[in-house]
Amino acid sequence: MAKQIQEILIDDLDGGEANETVAFAIDGTSFEIDLSDVNAKKLRDALSPFVQSARRAAAVTGRRRGGRGSQRAMTREKSSEIRAWAKAHGLPVSERGRIASSVVEQYEAAH
């Protein structure tokens, strides 16, 4: 038995037929909107002066919920290495758990 599934896009502005889904972001929130060719051109034309004057933002990856963007997950080996370095330099560091960011920053600055 054969099946044919057809996805029909509806223009989110005027309810007509849409030809594409346009993705954009502003103020840290990403959006998608289904638009006809005419409405997609209107959106791109309206944003064009801003896009031409803007710079590309770096991609945000590896962020943990509730964590700081600069905090990176580290391997056990890296943690052990930092703990040993910190002890050798008289810095307070626990045997287990999270290593203070100030200690990690000092380690990274030294290496």
* Per-residue confidence in pLDDT tens, the chain, 111 aa: 899 988 899 999 999 999 999 999 998 888 999 999 999 999 999 999 999 999 888 765 554 444 444 445 678 888 888 989 989 989 888 888 888 888 888 988 888
For domain 76-110, the CATH architecture is Irregular (4.10)
- Residue 10: which region, alpha, beta or left (left: phi > 0; alpha: psi -120 to 50)? beta
Domain ranges of the chain: 7-57, 76-110
pLDDT of residue 67: 47
CATH homologous superfamily for the domain 7-57: Lsr2, dimerisation domain (3.30.60.230)
Three-state secondary structure call for residue 83: helix
Q: Are 71 and 60 in contact (CB under 8 A)?
A: no
pLDDT of residue 105: 87
